[in-house]
């Protein structure tokens, strides 16, 4: 197909949509809009009507109107999930036709944690390259919020091609003692923006070394976990400083060693040199897997401050095992097999290897003492179980016990019948020998 007079429209380019879910995701979208990010369509999704009214996104989806009446999810991810399912068709209509969808959310809350997997699943079913960019809550937000965030991350992982998790606690390593709560959360929202903008700029901005959507899809499609870092540099060694800052970024929970795919983009002014870009790419290549697919992009922005450069690094492929990868067989063989738990056999003396509680041990010794006690020499004896409520007075003769025969119709049986007919069995106190005293002789 030949186009004359450059009759191209934006519809011919990759359609990128950024969906901010919940409060944290909506704040990240607002910051991207305020920074003037171009070539991306912004959407905010929330259960809180008040938050949607203040959003700068041109497309705003109100979910869970019947469930929450626009008052929010109350920090409950289950409500956030049901709210997204209630308006799943609205989300489908807005994401239809997108080539790439970013799902931004702050994990740990209600709407962001519960609705993000539903929205990402819709985008993934539409065939769009789905990238999740989420934050893990601060430690001071509580253990309950952290657990909900981890559950939300695990539910989001199977429905996205690439998942970038940004730990908020690591942002505090770059904060000062005078950093306020508001500034701390603004830092988290800003990192969400940088992660999304760093990837979208690779596609939307025309660079000296251009990176198109197909290159990004090769690196990020079905790659699992990913790492994102941004470095800045100035002066004569600006490029080396920016790369080292990105590699040693506090946002990286693990090293980039072993990454199978790397997106490396350099942004600078008109003074950006080709040797600087080559040197930076060589540093990254030495840090990742030798067979990694590295895509380098360079964007020259005339409005960028002279003497400064910015490096955006996206590393993927940590969860992928390719054919021919060595398997640590020695480690597998050195692991001893787990023995099954020994079966519990009937009788306390056969279970001596089982660790018992003090209450079990007291009962165990009590039963042994009663079992091995010598029967009384009187005609009637008291035989009982371990529970007093099951105690029954039985008149039995020593002769019948020795012969293991049933009770006859002797005087002992008549006594037993009269005792049961007269009144319920009474419990006698134990003697010092541990054997209860026999009932009184009625004759």
To which H or E segment does residue 393 belong? strand 392-394
161 known member of a binding site: no
25 known member of a binding site: yes
141 known member of a binding site: yes
What DSSP letter does each residue of 96-164 carry, written as one string? TT-SEEEEEEETTSSHHHHHHHHHHHHHHHTT-EEEEEEEEPPGGG-HHHHHHHHHHHHHHGGG-SEEE
Quote the CA–CA distance of 130 and 117 in Å, as a whole number.
Answer: 11
Region of residue 74 (phi > 0: left; psi between -120 and 50: alpha; otherwise: beta): left
Quote the CA–CA distance of 4 and 61 in Å, as a whole number.
Answer: 39
Quote the CA–CA distance of 72 and 411 in Å, as a whole number.
Answer: 81
Tokens of 79: 């409500």
23 known member of a binding site: yes
Q: In 3-state terms, what secondary structure has residue 338?
A: coil
Tokens of 286: 């030495």
Detail the DSSP E strand segments found in 58-109.
Answer: 59-62, 100-106
27 known member of a binding site: yes
112 known member of a binding site: yes
Burial string for 33-52 (b: 16+ CB within 10 Å, else e) reads beeebeebbbbbbbbbeebb
47 known member of a binding site: no
76 known member of a binding site: no
432 known member of a binding site: no
Helix axes 111-125, 88-95, angle to 10 degrees: 50
Detail the DSSP E strand segments found in 199-256.
Answer: 224-234
20 known member of a binding site: no
70 known member of a binding site: no
Binding residues for GTP: 23-27, 110-112, 141, 145, 189
Annotated binding site: 23-27, 110-112, 141, 145, 189
């Amino acid at each position: 197909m030949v186009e004359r007079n450059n009759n191209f429209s934006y519809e011919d380019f990759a359609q990128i949509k950024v969906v901010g879910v919940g409060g944290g995701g909506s704040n990240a979208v607002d910051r991207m809009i305020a920074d003037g990010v171009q070539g991306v369509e912004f959407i905010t999704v929330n259960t809180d009507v008040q938050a949607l009214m203040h959003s700068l996104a041109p497309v705003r989806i109100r979910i869970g109107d019947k469930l929450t009446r626009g008052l929010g999810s109350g920090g409950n991810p289950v409500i956030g999930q049901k709210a997204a399912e209630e308006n799943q068709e609205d989300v489908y209509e807005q994401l239809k036709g997108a080539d790439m969808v970013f799902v931004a959310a702050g994990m740990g809350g209600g709407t962001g944690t519960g609705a993000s997997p539903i929205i990402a699943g819709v985008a993934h079913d539409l065939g769009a390259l789905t990238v999740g960019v989420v934050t893990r809550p601060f430690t001071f937000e509580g253990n309950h919020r952290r657990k909900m965030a981890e559950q939300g991350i695990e539910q989001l992982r199977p429905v996205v091609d690439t998942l970038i998790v940004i730990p908020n606690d690591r942002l505090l390593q770059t904060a000062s003692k005078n950093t306020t709560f508001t500034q701390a959360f603004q830092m988290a929202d800003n990192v969400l923006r940088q992660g999304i903008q760093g990837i979208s700029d690779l596609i939307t901005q025309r660079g000296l070394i251009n990176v198109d959507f197909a290159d990004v899809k090769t690196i990020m499609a079905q790659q699992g976990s990913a790492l994102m870092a941004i470095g800045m540099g100035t002066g004569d060694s600006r490029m080396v400083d920016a790369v080292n800052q990105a590699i040693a970024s506090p946002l990286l929970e693990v090293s980039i060693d072993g990454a199978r795919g790397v997106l490396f983009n350099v942004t600078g002014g008109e003074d950006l040199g080709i040797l600087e870009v080559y040197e930076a790419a060589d540093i990254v290549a030495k840090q990742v897997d030798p067979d990694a697919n590295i895509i380098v992009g360079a964007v020259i922005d005339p409005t960028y401050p002279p003497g400064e450069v910015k490096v955006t690094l996206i590393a993927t492929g940590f969860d992928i095992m390719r054919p021919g990868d060595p398997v640590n067989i020695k480690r597998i063989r050195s692991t001893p097999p787990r023995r099954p738990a020994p079966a519990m056999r009937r009788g306390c003396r056969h279970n001596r290897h089982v660790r018992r509680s003090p209450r079990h041990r007291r009962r165990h010794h009590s039963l042994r003492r009663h079992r091995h006690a010598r029967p009384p020499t009187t005609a009637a004896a008291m035989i009982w179980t371990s529970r007093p409520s099951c105690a029954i007075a039985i008149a039995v003769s020593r002769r019948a016990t020795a012969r293991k025969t049933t009770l006859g119709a002797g005087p002992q049986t008549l006594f037993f019948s009269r005792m049961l007919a007269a009144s319920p069995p009474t419990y006698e106190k134990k003697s010092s020998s541990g054997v209860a005293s026999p009932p009184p002789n009625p004759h």
